[in-house]
Structure 1
Amino acid sequence: MLEQRIGTWLELQDALFAGSWSEALGRHRSTFVFRGMPQVSNDLSTALNRQGLFVRKEKDLLRAFRKYARGDSPPSVESVWDWLALAQHHGLPTRMLDWTFSPYVALHFLTENPERYDDDGVVWCVDYRQTNQHLPRRLKTLLRREGADVFTGEMLATAASDLPAFDHLAKHPFVLFLEPPSLDARIVNQFALFSVMNGPELCLDSFLEAQAEGVRKLVIPAALKWEVRDKLDQSNITERVLFPGFDGLSRWLRRYYSPRGASKLASAPAARKRKRTTK
């Protein structure tokens, strides 16, 4: 794994689009996916296994979600993988982790919260063709037969109809990337996909840190965040686009019109409270 600390906006562009040229296609077509987080200390644990909270409840959570959500679920949701994607999309703790094909969408999630602008952030860049090399043979064959590099729920269901079958495809840890059905405009606009590992307790950090190629961890210093955010706004990479509807519109306007010092003012009372409690 390559870790790189970014110094400027132009250096960031070079790092995000590095390796995007495809000699075979004669086009710039990246095989990387991206995940942006506001703090460099954030790990890649899922909501299911973060601090071990829900690892043993995965089956119960998904069963209950399918039972109670069935009347409102889109007709395109059929396989367990589509159900997992729908559940993840709406905040249920699952073994999935959110990624995007768009480096700028990743930068949005790195800079969406001004209260974190005093912290260094991070963008993970993962080449799915490299991680695919660690897939079990059955999944590699499936990708090759479909002429694909990432999975759909329909494809994955032909190899593993449920989570226990998926977990038994290999004894070694592996990760694959799954592109969900277009459940709503949010998934489409965010150019979203999910990572999935073969075990509810597995954490992607350990897997990626052992990869010699195809993984870049870009550290974005706090001093660069405001420039990144302002240039994303000018490029129309905003909550209004990524979260269509009144909620996204309100989130965008609240952040866009907040004065630059608002984050420090908001965090000051909490800082004073922490200081009092430590005396």
Structure 2
Amino acid sequence: MLTGMMLNQLLSIKAMESAMYKLGIPDEKDFKSITEFFDYASEKLITRDYDFGFRGHSDSDWELETTLSRFVSEIQSHYPERSANYERELLTDLCLQRLHKQFKNNLITNNDLPQDRIEKIDLWQYGQHFGLPSPLLDWTHSPFIALFFAISEPVRTGAESSRCVWVINLNMLTHVNTQVIEEVRPKYENSISPESALNQQFPISEIVQELNENNRRIAFQQGFFTKHEYYKSLEVWLKRVVGEMSFHKGDAPVLTKLTFPCSEKERISMLDRLDKMNINNRTLFPDIFGSVKGAVDTVYRSFQAPKVRGFAFSQD
């Protein structure tokens, strides 16, 4: 028979377990409006309890997939006979090597940067913002900058406009990375060889935060990257590696998906609000691209302003 103390302990354990999150499964929250999301971000996401990163998607159905992953999928689709000779991991490795080598050679040939600089910088970071397929996924430390990227493009005609901001808990991600190195890989080191193959099967998600004068956007966007080479998306990688861990739960989720509807009127209104916070194309892209994009966006939104402004007068 359970005593009162034993019952209280069991209830306490159950309450603790219900508060734990399955690390391999993203948590999801749906908001009724973009304003409701904004208020939630202001109250809950500006905190020192955890180190958060944020990423905005204009389509909530999009996965956390790198441009490299999409590039590899295109190679498989367009050249099925050639790519069939490779497992996806090997094909990815081949694309990584060829893209990096060719991009570096082109920078040198065109004299885009001094060669000593080319040898020192992270070419993936530098090339990504110019369209190079990359194993890096962009994040920002600001939920409001992520919100801007989620709503910067107009609503597509005839499309249901459900957008989202992804939240990544960097403290929990670091924990998962540590467990991959200390627990998961050692379980398979005798059955999977060489070591490079083991690391491809169970990679870590490296956090990349390198500032340099050749990529000013990183600083202005409060940006950083996570690196993903061999899995189709961050969600797929997370589920795979956490499934091999002894402890699958944590006091906070690694990933959270925050979804909200957004009409065109609400989008314009929120862009005006963010603009007053100095979050716009001009400030986030401190180059010619940002100047052009900012000008186009400002003119576009000027046509959303009221046609007639009324003035009230009083006579004493």
Give the TM-score normalised by structure 1: 0.70
SS at match of 1:108: helix
The aligned residue for residue 204 of structure 1 is 234
Distance in 2 between the 1:13 and 1:40 partners? 19
Give the Å deviation of 1:45: 1.4
Residue 4 in structure 1 maps to residue 29 in structure 2: yes
The aligned residue for residue 268 of structure 1 is none
The aligned residue for residue 99 of structure 1 is 139
Residue 126 in structure 1 maps to residue 168 in structure 2: yes
Moved more, 243-252 or 168-177: 168-177
The aligned residue for residue 236 of structure 1 is 278
From 147, 151, 155, the equivalent of 1:111 is 151
Give the Å deviation of 1:76: 5.0
SS at match of 2:67: coil
Distance in 2 between the 1:168 and 1:77 partners? 30
Give the TM-score normalised by structure 2: 0.63
Partner AA of 1:22 in structure 2: R
Partner AA of 1:130 in structure 2: M
The aligned residue for residue 277 of structure 1 is none
Distance in 2 between the 1:260 and 1:139 partners? 53
The aligned residue for residue 188 of structure 1 is 219
Partner AA of 1:63 in structure 2: K
The aligned residue for residue 255 of structure 1 is 297
Moved more, 204-213 or 220-229: 204-213
The aligned residue for residue 175 of structure 1 is 205
Q: Which has the larger radius of gyration?
A: 2
Partner AA of 1:2 in structure 2: D
The aligned residue for residue 88 of structure 1 is 128
Partner AA of 1:185 in structure 2: R
Equivalence map 1:139-154=2 (5 Å): none
The aligned residue for residue 275 of structure 1 is none
The aligned residue for residue 35 of structure 1 is 55
Give the Å deviation of 1:19: 5.7
**CA distance change for structure 1 residues 138 and 220 in 2, over 3 Å: closer, same or farther?**
closer
What RMSD over aligned residues (CA atoms) do the two structures have, in Å?
A: 3.2
Residue 52 in structure 1 maps to residue 52 in structure 2: no
Distance in 1 between the 2:280 and 2:195 partners? 39
Distance in 2 between the 1:83 and 1:165 partners? 25
From 74, 79, 102, the equivalent of 1:64 is 102
Distance in 2 between the 1:17 and 1:77 partners? 42
Give the Å deviation of 1:254: 1.4
**CA distance change for structure 1 residues 3 and 261 in 2, over 3 Å: closer, same or farther?**
farther
- Kept in 1: contact 2:104–2:118 (CA 8 A): no
Partner AA of 1:120 in structure 2: S
SS at match of 1:123: strand
Partner AA of 2:236 in structure 1: S
Structure 2 residues without counterparts, runs of 5 or longer: 1-25, 76-91, 183-193, 243-247, 305-316
Distance in 1 between the 2:217 and 2:69 partners? 25
Partner AA of 2:68 in structure 1: L
Distance in 2 between the 1:184 and 1:233 partners? 23
Give the Å deviation of 1:176: 2.3
Number of equivalenced pairs: 231
Distance in 2 between the 1:89 and 1:202 partners? 20
The aligned residue for residue 44 of structure 2 is 18
CA shift digits 1:75-107 (9 cap, x unpaired)? 55546x712222223220011111111212111
Give the Å deviation of 1:178: 0.5
Residue 217 in structure 1 maps to residue 257 in structure 2: yes
**CA distance change for structure 1 residues 22 and 237 in 2, over 3 Å: closer, same or farther?**
closer
